[in-house]
Amino acid sequence: MSNLDLFARQPAEWLRSSGPESEIVISSRLRLARNVRGFPFLQKLTAEQHDEIVDLMEDTVQKTDVLKDATYFRYRDLTDLDRQFLVERHLISREHAGEKGERAVSITRNEVVSLMVLEEDHLRLQAFQSGFNLQEAWRIVGMIDDSLQKSVEFSFNPTLGYLTSCPTNVGTGLRASCMLHLPSLVLTKQVHKVLQALSKLNLAARGLYGEGTQATGNFFQFSNQMTLGQKEEEIIENLAAVIRQVVEHEKEARQYLRQKRKGKFEDQIWRAFGALKSARAISSSEATQLLSLVQLGVLMELLDPGLTRQDLNTLFLLIQPAHLQKISDKTLNSSDRDIARADLIRQHLSKVQL
């Protein structure tokens, strides 16, 4: 069994449901963009320089005590399925998975930290925490950034800050984000107001897998868009203040559904549960949407609470295409995945008491 396959047999850190406000805030993530001094930005690197940076970062990770349990994966050793699996676990980006040429990623055993080598920048360092816990994610990512800089020098300008290939990341190079599950705001048709307000505050709203993706299963990622001219603490606190407001709006929407639309709302929950429990073939998008409603029903105690939040969060992940194939230990075409997904869901939902 490879180190990568071991990840398939444990819950992802960002889905543990153990942090503050985890009924709504699924995860918090802090990401730093860094480039190695003396090398051009990614777009201008030669093939030889690609290899040199991949080698340099492997050596740097091995020298960094706080990353002593991390595994370094070179992309030449990963299959397309392996890369998609890492995307589904949010350990690499879709863009990183699809790039040609030598790349790498280093992942800690508990999946709290991953370092993408040669994504948009030479290094993208990210730390996850379950629930609404931006401060702890910042502590971790800051500690690792300081440790890495004992072995490698990053491109830095005294006036501008850290230099990055995209101007929006110049300065701190920090992107703070939270993933939220907002089914009640979607059901009450209030979520568009939230998204409009975010755009006015210079915050981005994206789907489950980040930039370029639409909201699926009522999951939304909210993050800052600019870093230049802002301190790290300011970026984090600005996002945190908005997340607190969105959490309150979702809670209010849940109360509205319970008090004003209880009959129709319960019908939607149970129809979703019935469809999942009886389906013999189902796509990932439909399953994710229906599981979102079941998750809400469990949270509001309309379904037996013996099915925990972590059970459902893990199921959201296991039904994704690469995870299904890792579990099955074989390549599955789209039709076979739909059948395997339905089987897996029925097994998990057998815990729910009617």
243 shares its domain with 302: no
Strands (E), the chain: 25-34, 71-74, 104-107, 113-117, 123-130, 156-157, 161-162, 174-181, 203-206, 219-224
Q: Please indicate, yes or no, if residue 354 is contained in any of the structural domains.
A: no
Query: What is the pTM assigned to this prediction?
Result: 0.90
pLDDT at 1: 45
Tell me what the mean pLDDT of segment 37-55 comes to.
94
What b-and-e string marks burial along 94-107, b requiring 16 or more CB atoms within 10 Å of the CB?
A: eebbebeebbbbbb
Tell me what the mean pLDDT of segment 282-300 comes to.
92
167 shares its domain with 102: yes
249 shares its domain with 265: no
190 shares its domain with 63: yes
Q: What is the pLDDT of residues 160-213, one digit of tens each?
A: 999 999 888 899 999 999 999 999 999 999 998 888 888 788 788 887 665 555
199 shares its domain with 270: no
275 shares its domain with 245: no
Among 253, 272, 294, residue at a domain's last position: 253
Task: Tell me the C-alpha distance between 31 and 176, whole Å.
Answer: 6
DSSP string, 208-234: TTBTT----TTEEEEEE---TT--HHH
Among 253, 279, 296, residue at a domain's last position: 253
278 shares its domain with 301: yes
pLDDT at 228: 74
165 shares its domain with 210: yes
Q: Is residue 354's pLDDT more than 80?
A: no
272 shares its domain with 209: no
Q: Please indicate, yes or no, if residue 234 is contained in any of the structural domains.
A: yes
The domain total for the chain is 2
Residue 159, classified by CB atoms within 10 Å of its CB into exposed (0-12), middle (13-18) or buried (19+), is exposed
pLDDT at 100: 81
Q: What φ, ψ does residue 188 adopt, rounded to 5°?
A: -90, 5
Q: What is the pLDDT of residues 236-278, one digit of tens each?
A: 999 999 999 999 999 999 999 999 888 889 999 999 999 999 9
Q: What φ, ψ does residue 329 adopt, rounded to 5°?
A: 60, 35
Band the pLDDT of 309: cuts 50, 70, 90: confident
Nearest to 232 by CA among 154, 145, 306: 145
Indicate which CATH number applies to the domain containing 49: 3.30.590.10
Contact of 347 with 340, CB cutoff 8 Å: no
Q: Please indicate, yes or no, if residue 249 is contained in any of the structural domains.
A: yes
Longest Cα–Cα distance of the chain, Å, equals: 64
Band the pLDDT of 155: cuts 50, 70, 90: very high
Among 253, 276, 301, residue at a domain's last position: 253
30 shares its domain with 125: yes
For 199, the domain range is 3-253
* More confident site: 120 or 168: 120
pLDDT at 158: 93
205 shares its domain with 330: no
146 shares its domain with 291: no
Q: Please indicate, yes or no, if residue 160 is contained in any of the structural domains.
A: yes
Those residues whose C-beta lies under 8 Å from the C-beta of residue 11, and which sit 6 or more positions away, are 310, 313, 314, 317
Helix (H) or strand (E) holding 150: none
Contact of 182 with 218, CB cutoff 8 Å: yes
pLDDT at 182: 94
Q: Please indicate, yes or no, if residue 107 is contained in any of the structural domains.
A: yes
